[in-house]
Amino acid sequence: MGKLGWKIGVEIELLAPKGASRETLASRVAERVGGTATRIFHPESETSALPGQPVFENLTLGYRVTDASGAWVASFVDDLTLQRDLDKSHAPHPGWYRLVADDARLLRLAQQNCDAAQPLDRVLDPFAALFGTEAEHHEGGMVRVVDAQGSSIAIGAPLPGERERPCEIVTAPIERDHAEAIDALLADARALGFAIPHEGATHLHFDAKPMRSAKAVARLVAFYTAHHAALRDFARSNPACVRTGGWPPGLAEMTGTAEFQSLEWEAARARLSKAGLKKWCDLNLANLVNASPNKDTIEFRIFPATLDAGDIVRWARGCEAILRFCLDPSEPAIPPEGADLTQAIPALAGS
């Protein structure tokens, strides 16, 4: 496997075998590294069919693994896009639940005040106390929090339909020995019988710091606009993946101007922040623009799920080569649509 020279994080969507869960894999990894697997809340959004309520916000259960020194190794979380392989009629697995609200801000407040290690019948008690109420307990194990006027704030409910089986591995940022770090995690998954989900994807997060340049971003946008089909061929993207697609209309035109490319980074970032960038696209620039302290990255979302670290390193080498091409101080011309990209970026060969 070729070496990588960029700090990256990797997200790999897998599926636990029946009778196992993402906790199973987290526990094995924690044992291997001599560390600890801690149960955590993981925020997720899902679309809703209810009129006037387009999105439900969720806190699902995951596990964060740290090594013997307390350093983060990886997290093992749910991904609500993984649906087809699950038996939705399956009874809830004991001890597994999710918290739901119609406002992400409320769930962030719940995440700060509730302990994911607590059982469902007690987990929302401190959250209800913030509103001067007590958690209400209903049939089927459901728990509801209301405010003093009786308005619903959040609901906790047993996790349905084998939802403990989806397992997205989220690695800590990897600075060196990428292949070895990724393969160690995937070897644990393979040994436990984890499989590739129908909708599964792999996401590659590249440290965004080197790309904080209006000209570099403009070149990346121009490159992807011209060659998105070729890059999907390189990725062999899973057609069943969801939450991919293009950028907002007008982005290429805005970044393609000499005026934009002459901007200092903060001015360019302010301009990009008004372009309507979202996370759910083939090439996610929203993290770069938002500069989140926990995920200041450029994210490639076009790759399929895999249990082979060699696949991931090869894909990452191709993405790294594209980013370095966009950073090249000699500013080579963007190859025209339909051109053989391997002439400009040899790392894309052999897909």
H helix or E strand, kind and range, residue 129: helix 125-130
pLDDT of residue 2: 55
Q: Which residues on adjacent β-strands are paired with residue 201? A: 304
pLDDT of residue 291: 82
What are 14-44's pLDDT values in tens digits? 999 999 999 999 999 999 999 999 999 999 8
Q: Tokens 């007008």 belong to which residue?
A: 250
Burial class (CB in 10 A: 0-12, 13-18, 19+), 191: exposed
pLDDT of residue 96: 96
pLDDT of residue 1: 43
Half-sphere exposure of 243 (CA within 13 A, CB side): 21
CB 223 within 8 A of CB 322: yes
Other beta carbons less than 10 A from residue 27's beta carbon: 18
CA angle 206, 35, 190 (to 5 degrees): 65
Nearest to 166, CA basis, from 263, 63, 238: 63
Q: 162: phi > 0 → left, psi -120 to 50 → alpha, else beta; which?
A: left
DSSP for 196-259, please give it.
--TT-EEEEEEESGGG--HHHHHHHHHHHHHHHHHHHHHHT--TT--S---PPTTHHHHHTSHH
Nearest to 216, CA basis, from 277, 282, 265, 284: 265
Whole-model pTM: value is 0.94
What are 46-84's pLDDT values in tens digits? 765 555 555 678 999 999 999 999 999 999 999 999 999
pLDDT of residue 351: 45
Kindly give the parts of the chain with pLDDT less than 50: 1, 351
Other beta carbons less than 10 A from residue 67's beta carbon: 16
Instruction: In whole angstroms, give the CA distance from residue 254 to residue 184.
Output: 43
Could you give the 3-state DSSP secondary structure of residue 114? coil
Burial 114-126 (b: 16+ CB within 10 A, else e): bebeeebeebbbe
Nearest to 347, CA basis, from 304, 317, 302: 317
CB 217 within 8 A of CB 298: no
Torsion of CA 225, 246, 291, 294, to 10 degrees: -120
